[in-house]
């Protein structure tokens, strides 16, 4: 199961290429609302349970679009801006402690992060729709997660990425060194798939 976020502002850039068609098609075919599980967000969209976990793939370099700029407050305090990711391959993971697949996936992300953080790869969690920051911090502490997470209870950063079919919980967006969206995963990511994508991006000429 995963949770999706609906809504898109006019004039936002649209990703192109095979990946968008594959993932959007899978979401349309697999999507189903559970009604009472929906939670309203600021712009009138909503998180909802949907079935299916489409696989991600690398978007060809010529078809990549720049990721939107974003900023926020980190769990535990401190400001963060997306400019801090400049020059690195970056893994953005949207998660919540209330999301069962996230509780499985996030510790696996820590394993990958420990192996690649010295190779020019940054990880950033984006914690959404928590009823309390304490719940998110308790999960991070209990699992020994070392990479930072933004506390984004209203899903505002997720909304900034709404043109990508990764506006789901859990979901993962991978940026190349130029800050462009290079891969999108909706649903839980297999650790071997993430490692393969990172190896490909690290092998690209920067």
Phi/psi for 92 (5° steps) reads -105, 120
- What is the pTM for the complete model shown? 0.75
Q: Residue 47 maps to which CATH number?
A: 3.40.30.10
- Take residue 140 and report the two structure tokens written for it: 């991070």
Measured between alpha carbons, how far is 70 from 103 in angstroms, rounded to an integer?
A: 25
Q: Residues 99, 170: contact at Cβ < 8 Å?
A: yes
Average pLDDT rounded to a whole number, residues 85-93: 96
What is the average per-residue pLDDT within 96-111?
Answer: 92
Q: Return the pLDDT at 55.
A: 55
| Domain containing residue 38 | 2-202
Q: Does residue 50 register a pLDDT over 60?
A: no
Q: Is 5 exposed, middle or buried (0-12, 13-18, 19+ CB in 10 A)?
A: buried
CA distance 121 to 183: 14
| pLDDT of 20 strictly over 50 | no
Q: Looking at the 3D structure of the chain, how many domains does it have?
A: 1
The pLDDT mean for the chain works out to 76
């Amino acid at each position: 199961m995963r949770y999706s976020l609906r809504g898109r502002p006019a004039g936002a850039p649209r990703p192109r290429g095979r990946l968008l068609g594959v993932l959007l098609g899978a979401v349309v075919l697999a999507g189903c609302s559970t009604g009472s599980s929906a939670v309203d967000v600021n712009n009138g969209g909503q998180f909802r349970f949907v079935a299916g976990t489409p696989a991600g793939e690398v978007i060809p370099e010529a078809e990549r679009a720049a990721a939107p700029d974003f900023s926020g407050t980190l769990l535990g305090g401190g400001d963060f801006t997306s400019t801090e990711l400049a020059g690195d391959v970056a893994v953005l993971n949207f998660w919540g402690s209330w999301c069962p697949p996230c509780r499985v996936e996030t510790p696996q992300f820590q394993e990958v992060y420990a192996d690649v953080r010295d190779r020019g790869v940054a990880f950033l969690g984006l914690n959404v729709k928590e009823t309390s920051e304490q719940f998110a911090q308790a999960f991070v502490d209990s699992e020994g997660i070392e990479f930072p997470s933004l506390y984004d209870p209203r899903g505002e950063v997720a909304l900034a990425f709404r043109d990508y079919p990764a506006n789901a919980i859990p979901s993962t967006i991978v940026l190349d060194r130029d800050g462009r969206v290079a891969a999108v995963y909706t649903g839980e990511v297999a650790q071997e798939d993430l490692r393969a994508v990172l190896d490909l991006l690290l092998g690209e000429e920067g």
